[in-house]
């Protein structure tokens, strides 16, 4: 890579269903010039997250779609290589939202300085960043787990699910995880310390989940939807809380959803069991809870009550395949591209 060129990946076309490598295009561009109040960044790490599939689609959502030809969006950890703002100097490491590219100009006001002495800088993209905060805010604000209750979460080896289960246990609840395959399940039980783990590829997942939740489910932190939701639904207790965080099982779906309309059944249960189902986007909680999260999560990591796993893939050019794989469970931990 020439130091005078910006290597970047743009959205080449919108996917129908599962994305393909052809939906992305790798190109070279000039390194941007910076103006007063800006810094020039060399990107070190790029976060890959399920929401990126949504940005590739033109469907109406909570955030604007990425335009065709526009650089794919994403959270990044970067090094300042030139500064026209007194708050930053070359060599500073920052959290930025610079997307899938090797270099970027950024407004100093939108950056947060990272201290590599405090924590590995990649954690700002995972356990100490947006996914960890999503778990913290969604579980504590909406889920409100109480001692002795049962909390269930899927995608339990990923950055959101693993934090949900571990925070649930800190609050005295039982954590039951759902993950894909024996290797992930073993890790969730042994390293993240969940009380029980179910493999969602097991043909008897629903039976195993019922056996793992003998007192029913008080909090279901919804990360995936699909057949996991079908197994969870009959086990929900009266007054259960369901933070709806993500539906990764259906992000690649196209056209009408299959099957009968089960909305009347859902509404009957919402009423008769006094269920609380609330969707959320993490950023709605950032202003109120961001500082408390960073302090509390850092202390949990320091005392060993929260552990995390990162899955680092080398090379920006491998980001498209890695994102496609993320939507199918090929990642194992917080997915990060090292540039
Ligand atoms: N609301 C918000 O503000 C917000 C913010 C961040 C993330 N989220 C959501 O939180 C969820 C987890 O995000 P993450 O970053 O922690 O992702 P992640 O766990 O690293 O990756 C997604 C995981 O989903 C699982 N999965 C994929 N297809 C599945 C299917 N059909 N059935 C069951 N599981 C499936 C896979 O794990 P297995 O191999 O274990 O199945 C995959 O590894 C996503 O839905 C994401 O969109 C929401």
**H helix or E strand, kind and range, residue 167:** helix 159-170
CA distance 235 to 232: 5
Whether the CB of 322 sits within 6 Å of ligand 1: no
Whether the CB of 249 sits within 6 Å of ligand 1: yes
Beta bridge partners of 78: 43, 94
Mutation to probe ligand 1, out of 63, 198, 310, 329 (largest number of atoms < 8 A from CB): 329
pLDDT at position 4, please? 67
pLDDT at position 1, please? 43
Question: What is the Å distance from ligand 1's center to 223 Cα?
Answer: 6
Whether the CB of 162 sits within 6 Å of ligand 1: no
CATH code for the part of the protein at 130-279: 3.40.50.720
Whether the CB of 49 sits within 6 Å of ligand 1: yes
Q: Which fold has domain 5-126+309-338?
A: Quinone Oxidoreductase; Chain A, domain 1 (3.90.180)
Domain ranges of the chain: 5-126+309-338, 130-279
pLDDT along the chain (339 residues), means of 10: 79 96 97 96 98 94 94 98 98 98 97 96 98 98 98 98 98 98 98 98 98 98 96 98 97 83 94 98 97 97 97 98 98 98
CA distance 248 to 329: 10
Say if pTM beats, i.e. exceeds, 0.95. yes
pLDDT digits (tens, 9 = 90+) for 147-194: 999 999 999 999 999 999 999 999 999 999 999 999 999 999 999 999
Q: Which of 56, 54, 102 is nearest to 78 (CA)?
A: 102
Question: What is the Å distance from ligand 1's center to 155 Cα?
Answer: 5
Whether the CB of 332 sits within 6 Å of ligand 1: no
Q: Which long-range contacts (CB under 8 A, 24 or more apart) does 235-239 make?
A: 235/209, 235/210, 236/269, 236/273, 236/275, 237/273, 238/273, 238/274, 239/273, 239/274, 239/275, 239/276
Report the atom number in ligand 1 closest to the C-alpha of 156. 40
């Amino acid at each position: 890579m020439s130091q005078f060129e910006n290597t970047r990946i743009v959205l080449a076309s919108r996917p129908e269903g599962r994305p393909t490598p052809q939906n992305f295009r790798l190109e070279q561009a000039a390194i941007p010039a910076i103006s007063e109040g800006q810094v020039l960044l060399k990107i070190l790490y790029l976060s890959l997250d399920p929401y990126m599939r949504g940005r590739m689609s033109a469907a109406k959502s909570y955030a604007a779609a990425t335009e065709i030809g526009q650089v794919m969006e994403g959270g990044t950890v970067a090094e300042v290589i030139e500064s026209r703002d007194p708050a930053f100097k070359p060599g500073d490491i920052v959290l930025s939202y610079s997307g899938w590219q090797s270099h970027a100009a950024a407004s100093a006001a939108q950056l947060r300085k990272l201290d590599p002495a405090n924590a590995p800088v990649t954690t700002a993209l995972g356990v100490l960043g947006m996914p960890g905060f999503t778990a913290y805010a969604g579980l504590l604000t909406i889920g409100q787990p109480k001692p002795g209750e049962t909390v269930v979460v899927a995608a339990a080896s990923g950055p959101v699910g693993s934090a949900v289960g571990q925070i649930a246990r800190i609050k005295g609840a039982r954590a039951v995880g759902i993950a894909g395959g024996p290797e992930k399940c073993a890790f969730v039980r042994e390293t993240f310390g969940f009380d029980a783990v179910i493999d969602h590829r097991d043909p008897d997942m629903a039976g195993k989940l019922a056996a793992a939740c003998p007192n029913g489910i008080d909090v279901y932190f919804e990360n995936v939807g699909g057949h996991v939701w079908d197994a969870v639904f009959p086990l929900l207790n009266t007054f259960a809380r369901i933070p709806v965080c993500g539906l990764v099982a259906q992000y690649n779906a196209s056209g009408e959803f299959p099957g009968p309309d089960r909305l009347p059944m859902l509404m009957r249960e919402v009423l008769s069991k006094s269920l609380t189902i609330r969707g959320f986007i993490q950023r709605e909680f950032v202003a109120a809870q961001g500082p408390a999260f960073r302090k509390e999560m850092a202390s949990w990591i320091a005392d060993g009550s929260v552990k995390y796993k990162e899955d680092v893939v080398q090379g920006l050019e491998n980001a498209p395949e890695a994102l496609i794989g993320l939507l199918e469970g090929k990642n194992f931990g917080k997915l990060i591209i090292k540039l």
